[in-house]
Structure 1
């Protein structure tokens, strides 16, 4: 038993810690072997997707907490799904950008400054206005994603596939939510 402890202690002393590791610049990893200009084009179209989807996750959670009315449970739970999906889709777009060797700026102030989502109502709301608001948010995000799908066709088909996957998911979530507005 003493030899196991001894080996463990020796191993731990050889581990680099944040205090003795020098910061090194990460090399750019270009999986597409595309010219740098094209890769920056991917960033140009995927970053707005990240901004809008992160904003959708925040506004969707706000709506989730404040929805009221006869369809409360259904809308409340669906909004949680929409928020989770928005986060997953934002992560997908951000990771594609980073995998190509470029940074993604998804700081709160950047999202607030660049999101295309309309302003959200404050406080409690009945489910109807809440659903209308989140559908409008989703419409703005879908428009951003569709712009990327169209533009990325010529720039990077793999990144276009990412945007297409996000579009399909958003449209499905929008359909589920907007069904709560049906009157017939």
Structure 2
């Protein structure tokens, strides 16, 4: 049942709605991964990474609201229930317990890379179906790529003697 009438044709609404729902799950899950890492990080870079994690969480939460509202605007009821996130989230997260700062950085880089890869796939699928949704996904991708770069730079050099 569609309560909110969409301005999109049914097929386009389905494509955009699926992309938005999958993105909502990724963003809500990413915010939980970030908060878990924020609470369990230990190590000499605790404070700076602890604060940087809040930036990722805040960004993911703000974008999740925008994504859910876009879905509602095109007549698709967003589903951000805990059981939906738990059943659908697949980006990975930190282990249980205290986690070293370097491990936290890698967990976040990996989660962001997965989210970005998935967003880029959705950008392609929404190109013709709904350029407005595509534009939103592009903006989210740009922000997450910036966050990934900032975290990836935390562990430079990645290997002993790697300076180039």
Q: 2: distance between equivalents of 1:170 and 1:97? A: 20
Once the two structures are TM-superposed, the CA of residue 119 in structure 1 deviates from its matched residue by 4.5
Provide, for residues 157-183 of structure 1, a one-character-per-residue CA deviation record: whole Å limited to 9, x for no partner: 011000000000100011111111102
Aligned residue runs from structure 1 range 29-108, under 5 A: 29-30=5-6, 33-108=7-82
Determine helix, strand or coil for the equivalent of 1:121: coil
RMSD over aligned Cα, in angstroms? Answer: 1.5
Q: Which of 86, 89, 105 does residue 112 from structure 1 map onto?
A: 86
Q: 1: distance between equivalents of 2:129 and 2:32? A: 30
Q: 1: distance between equivalents of 2:118 and 2:53? A: 20
Asked whether the equivalents of residues 37 and 104 of structure 2 are also in contact (C-alpha less than 8 Å), the reply is: yes
Once the two structures are TM-superposed, the CA of residue 123 in structure 1 deviates from its matched residue by 0.9
The yes-or-no answer on 1:177 pairing with 2:156 is no
Q: TM-score, normalised by structure 2?
A: 0.91
Unaligned runs of 5+ in 2: 158-162
Corresponding residue number in structure 2 for 1:17: none
Asked whether the equivalents of residues 116 and 141 of structure 1 are also in contact (C-alpha less than 8 Å), the reply is: no
Query: Which ranges of 4 or more aligned residues in structure 1 deviate by more than 3 Å?
Result: none
Q: 2: distance between equivalents of 1:130 and 1:99? A: 36
Provide, for residues 124-169 of structure 1, a one-character-per-residue CA deviation record: whole Å limited to 9, x for no partner: 1110011101111111211221111111001000110000000001
Q: 2: distance between equivalents of 1:109 and 1:68? A: 30
Larger Rg: 1
Q: 2: distance between equivalents of 1:139 and 1:90? A: 17
Q: Which of 123, 128, 136 does residue 162 from structure 1 map onto?
A: 136
